[in-house]
Amino acid sequence: MKPKFTICRLGAQKKAQNVDEIITKSVLQDICKRLTHQEKYDIDWVEERINGKMFTFETDNTKYYITYTLNRVGGRNSYLQSVPTAFGIFINDALYNTKKSLFCLYFTHHNGNNQTRYHQFIYRLLKSIGVCFINSDEELKGLNVQPYDNVKDLISDREFNTIHNNYNQSSYITDEGSYYHVYGKTFGANQKETTMLCLALCGISDKPIRLFQISDNDSKYLSDTDIDAIKTYATKFSKVGIEILDDTYEFEDDNEQVPIKTDPQSSLRSPRFILNLLEKTGGHKSCSLCQCEIESIIQGAHIYPVQAIKQQTDLSFEERLKMATDKNNGIWLCENHHKLFDRGLIRFENGKLKIMPKLNDNDKEFVNTISTIQAIDQNYFTSKMAEYFKKRDDFYRSEKYY
């Protein structure tokens, strides 16, 4: 058979550029030649709305699902944000195809820089789930995009992007020992980044994954298409499973190992607290007092305790939740320092560590020895944190912890 394109012609939105204004004859010839080494093809223009900025191209043996970039490079990942939707359609279709199926990305000629550090990160995520780049030799000149081999490198790259791009704070990955946790926002471009991140993790992870969907701009969940794509990919093409949860789960006693389903109108231990702390520290977890960086034993410790916040019945639930998830009401502590902190054996004064006198001299010496840092990093210490530390001290004295 002669290779054949099937393309829905109409834009997804009334103001959107029609597909045949982007996917021109020269583009189709380029795709056909690159994929089949010939220039002749048939084309079937379908008077329907395009779904996922994608069209298909069939040969005797293969069905290609081809998505494409915009012809301008906007902010964040708008340049590529149709890819997860298209990939979701591909994944579900591919299960029933009798022909070999491949998912491909075509780079249209564009205005703007499509090789920022953030774009390179997204390209690597796509390579990690097997996306074929059709014409990267022309449109990504000089850029050698390789898939991620392991989650550690992916997390490192993600943190680098977050630190160097303050606006890029939508999703984070933590290593919790037995699981990887993903904290992902759910609206617009944030949703698409969260989806691509989860897909890539499913492809390379060596242990199960938990995704916590953090409500964002009144959007509580990823789209059904994106959730289906993640679940299908994890089931059919991944060695590990993924749990897709929301922010109505809580972590018991500031320990983010075991999530528990709760009533969203009563729980103050939302995963949003962890996401907000990750935002504050650029996605990096390390103990504020000893520089320990073993993520699975680093915990988000509330300064003004949830127990105390619950007792503030003069505040509405929304006000208490805001206080309980405030990034300024928390610090990262290892399990040792967290227990010392929660049991009132150490406290902070103007951000500086104070060891409580009820410890004997040997214990004080031990705490001093393991506390290689004696004050909270001034890059993170705020006046709001100082207020929370004062509220904590007042509460601990009233409860006779001090």
pLDDT at residue 49, rounded to an integer: 78
pLDDT at residue 37, rounded to an integer: 94
pLDDT at residue 352, rounded to an integer: 97
What structural domains does the chain harbor?
A: 4-147 (no CATH), 150-246 (3.30.750), 285-402 (no CATH)
Can you give the three-state secondary structure of the chain, one letter per residue? CCCEEEEEEECCCCCCCCHHHHCCHHHHHHHHHHHHCCCCCEEEEEEEECCCCEEEEECCCEEEEEEECCCECCCCCCCCCCHHHHHHHHHHHHCCCCCEEEEEEECCCCECCCCCHHHHHHHHHHHHCCCEECCHHHHCCCCCCCCCCCHHHHHHHHHHHHHHCCCCCCEEEEECCCCEEEEEECCHHHHHHHHHHHHHHHHHCCCCEEEEEECECCECCCCHHHHHHHHHHHHHHCCCCEEEEECCEEEHHHCCCCEEECCCCCCCCCCHHHHHHHHHCCCCCCCCCCCCCCHHHEEEEECCCHHHHHCCCCCCHHHHHHHHCCHHHEEEEEHHHHHHHHCCCEEEECCEEEECCCCCHHHHHHHHHHCCCCECCCCCCCHHHHHHHHHHHHHHHHCCCC
pLDDT at residue 258, rounded to an integer: 64
Does the pTM of the predicted model rise above 0.85?
yes
pLDDT at residue 264, rounded to an integer: 63
* Per-residue confidence in pLDDT tens, the chain, 402 aa: 799 999 987 765 444 456 767 888 999 999 999 999 998 999 999 888 777 789 999 999 999 999 998 777 866 567 887 888 899 889 888 878 889 999 999 998 878 889 988 899 999 999 999 999 999 999 999 899 999 999 999 998 888 877 666 556 688 999 999 999 999 999 888 888 899 999 999 999 999 999 999 988 888 899 888 898 899 999 988 888 999 998 777 766 555 566 777 666 677 888 999 999 999 998 889 999 998 999 999 999 999 999 999 999 999 999 999 999 999 999 999 999 999 999 999 999 999 999 999 999 999 999 999 999 999 999 999 999 999 999 999 999 999 999
pLDDT at residue 15, rounded to an integer: 44
